[in-house]
Amino acid sequence: MAIAGSGGWAPSCRVVVENGQLIARGNVNNKPPEVVYSDEERGAKGSLADAIERLSRKEPITVDMTNGQFLRLVELWRQCTETRPLPEWAREEAG
């Protein structure tokens, strides 16, 4: 396994939506940038905004866990769910 910050690999974790909330599942593992969502990692699969779009479709994602990116993702999710209703599947799970 690569050392965090070497060779471009990013410490990352799988993120899912449960009961309308974002949950980081499993252990943090180093992944190549092309499989993680990140606003900072060069060559990332997509931005945190892209990750929100995927999560809103109930798709699990892998997010870069460095420099508070998971916390920013949670804040983006909170902002999005305050300004627009949760998808039907998320409302059913939360209620």
Q: Which amino acid is at 33?
A: P
- Per-residue pLDDT of the chain in tens (95 residues, 90 and over written 9): 444 455 679 999 999 999 889 999 989 999 999 999 999 999 999 999 999 999 999 899 999 999 999 999 999 999 988 876 666 766 665 55
Element spanning 24, H or E: strand 21-31
User: Which helix (DSSP H) or strand (DSSP E) does residue 52 occupy?
Assistant: helix 48-56
Name every residue whose Cβ is closer than 8 Å to that of residue 8 and which is 6 or more positions away in sequence: 32, 33, 41, 42, 43
Percentage helix, strand, coil for the chain under 3-state DSSP, each rounded to 5: 40, 25, 35
The domain limits of the chain are: 10-94
